[in-house]
């Protein structure tokens, strides 16, 4: 009988700890929309539609950029592109998302960079139009700009 009480007490304590852990876990906040598209112009390196995917946890946010219209000029190794995505804040100013993450890409493959990391404030409304994506590969910087507003609209962070 005594073993049963100890076992039940341990189970209750473990359950209480699990619930407490959930209560104090960092909340994943919503960014809306999570995905937006732009038409990007990267000069001699291509142009076309690009998809931006955003996530947020607290004040930390990430954006990944993928574009079938913009292609790798040569074969590139994993994590070999240094990227800075600058988004324009609706109230003025900009927010930079930076990183060196990218998958390996063959020459002519669609470009993908990210997730690129940045810091946002609650209520930030960020737009790619007016900003830029700078990618540095082997010391050469490629600058891409949006030719119009992103669709369906700016990223709004909670």
Condensed to tens digits (0 to 9), the pLDDT of residues 58-84 reads 999 999 999 998 888 899 999 999 999
Cα 105 from Cα 75, distance rounded (Å)? 6
Q: Are 132 and 147 in contact (CB under 8 A)?
A: no
pLDDT of 117: 98
Rounded to an integer, the average pLDDT of 37-62 is 95
154: its two tokens? 């700016």
pTM value is 0.81
Rounded to an integer, the average pLDDT of 35-40 is 97
What's the full length of the chain, in residues? 158
Q: Which residues contact 116 (CB under 8 A, 6 or more apart)?
A: 62, 63, 64, 65, 83, 84, 85, 97, 98, 99, 101
Q: Are 37 and 151 in contact (CB under 8 A)?
A: yes
Rounded to an integer, the average pLDDT of 90-96 is 96
pLDDT of 7: 41
């Amino acid at each position: 009988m005594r073993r049963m009480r100890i076992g039940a007490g341990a189970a209750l304590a473990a359950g209480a700890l699990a619930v407490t852990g959930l209560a104090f876990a960092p909340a994943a906040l919503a960014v809306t929309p999570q995905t937006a598209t732009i038409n990007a112009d990267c000069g001699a390196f291509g142009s076309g539609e690009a998809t931006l995917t955003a996530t947020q946890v607290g004040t930390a946010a990430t954006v990944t950029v993928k574009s079938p219209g913009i292609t790798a000029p040569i074969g590139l190794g994993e994590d070999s592109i240094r990227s800075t995505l600058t988004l324009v804040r609706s109230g003025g100013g900009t927010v930079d998302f930076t990183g060196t993450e990218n998958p390996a890409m063959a020459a002519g493959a669609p470009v993908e960079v990210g997730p690129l990391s940045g810091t946002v404030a609650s209520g930030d409304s960020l737009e790619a139009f007016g900003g830029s994506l700078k990618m540095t590969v082997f010391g050469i910087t490629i600058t891409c700009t949006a030719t119009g507003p992103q669709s369906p609209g700016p990223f709004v962070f909670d």
